[in-house]
Amino acid sequence: PPNLPALKSVAPAPFGTAIKAMQIDDPDWVALARAQVCQLTPEWEMKMEYVLADGLDRPRFDRSDRIAAFAARNGMALHGHTLIWYSQGAEAFAGLSGAAFDRAFDGYVAAVAGRYRGKVRSWDVVNEPILDDGSGLRDCHWSARYGHDGYILRAFEQARAADPDAVLFLNEYNQESVPAKGIQFLKLVERLLKAGCPLQGLGLQSHLWIDIPEGAISTFMREAAQFGLPIHVSELDCTLRTENRLDLRGAGQRTALQTARVRELAEAFTALPAAQRFAFTVWGLRDTDSWYRQGDKDDGRDRPLPFDGAGRPGPMAAALAQGFA
């Protein structure tokens, strides 16, 4: 679609993208980001796996500091991702138990959230606590010690103490595409709020599938909005695959489905009260930046993001502009 307006200028809230530190060295990426977004989410380098790769006592902040400086230099907000999740990084806690484990857990959240106090607008304090089938909460290194709700409460309390100004989010995926998971997410939010958890925002990652039934996306958005908390569409992409198989027979029909789902998401977000429209983030700008392009499943034909490899707006960018109008 020729001369589409900049997405940050038509979005009804700050429009963001995931960022990898190495993209700061890609002038094409920088030009596109400056034109299109006003918020950034580190895709990997602010996660425990990167920060603690050299061990608990030698945290690495070089790349997250670089991203934070880039955001500040370019007048872009920074959304921290993510303090505590079930995946990637617990190895650094191996062998710790009891009070030593508590000191390490509390100390990690305090160190990272404290370091970026005044630099981040918000945090994904806890990421993806719910089992993929929605039958309950994941068992993980953290739940083993503190219980399923317990580690979440603890993480939020530590984050609150370290940064009283950041908006604190619980972030999850497939709430719209797996109804049981959506229900479990809403039940968890209700329990946390009742327990006095300083939970201030809900992250709907929105890694969409083209075979999500029409209406499911907007229905979940409305259900999530009932808590009155800010909503962050935090990781939008929409692969043209189905069942994890890259099969683009009828690519035109797949693109039409992608357009319908992305437009439904953008319309549902736009329909929220202004106070609940926190931000709308795509999980990368160009198809070639997508995590779907990491690994062997890709044959270069998927189009999960708004722009093509050359930074030209594609069908998803048009769907977003339509949905935001």
Q: Which residues bind ligand G3I (CB under 6 A)?
A: 20, 43-44, 47, 88, 127, 173, 205, 235, 291
**Of 93 and 173, CB closest to ligand G3I:** 173
Q: How far is the CB of 231 from ligand G3I (least distance, A)?
A: 16
Cβ distance to ligand G3I smaller for residue 3 or 244: 244
User: Measured from the CB atom, is 170 or 321 closer to ligand G3I?
Assistant: 170
**Among residues 52 and 321, whose Cβ is nearest to ligand G3I?**
52
The total of other beta-carbon atoms located within 10 Å of residue 179's CB is: 15
Closest CA to 207 of 109, 274, 127, 276: 127
* Helix, strand or coil, per DSSP, at residue 84: strand
Alpha carbon of 183 to those of 83, 187, 224, 271: distances in Å?
24, 6, 10, 21
Gyration radius (Cα) of the chain, Å:
19
**b/e map 269-296, b = 16+ CB within 10 Å:** bbebeeebbbbbbbbbbbbbbbbbbeee
To ligand G3I, the closest distance from the beta carbon of 265 in angstroms equals 16
* Tokens of residue 24, six digits: 């700061």
User: Min. distance of Cβ 232 from ligand G3I in angstroms?
Assistant: 13
Q: Are 198 and 161 in contact (CB under 8 A)?
A: no
Nearer to ligand G3I, 210 or 321 (CB): 210
- The CB-of-173 to ligand G3I minimum distance in angstroms stands at 6
Is residue 306 within 8 A of residue 50, CB to CB? The reply is no
Q: Assess contact for 138 and 149: CB atoms under 8 A.
A: no
Nearest distance, CB of residue 237 and ligand G3I, angstroms = 8
Pick the closer one to ligand G3I by CB: 22 or 69: 22
Nearest approach in angstroms of CB 100 to ligand G3I is 26
User: 45 or 321, CB closer to ligand G3I?
Assistant: 45
Distances in Å between the alpha carbon of 128 and those of 42, 143, 273?
16, 13, 25
Distances (CA, A) of 225 to 18, 153, 233, 256, 318: 24, 21, 12, 27, 25
Q: How far is the CB of 291 from ligand G3I (least distance, A)?
A: 3
From the centroid of its chain, how far is CA 3? 28
Q: How far is residue 149's CA from residue 120's CA, in Å, rounded to a whole number?
A: 25
Provide, rounded to whole angstroms, the least separation between the CB of residue 264 and ligand G3I: 20
Among residues 126 and 321, whose Cβ is nearest to ligand G3I? 126
CB 233 within 8 A of CB 269: yes
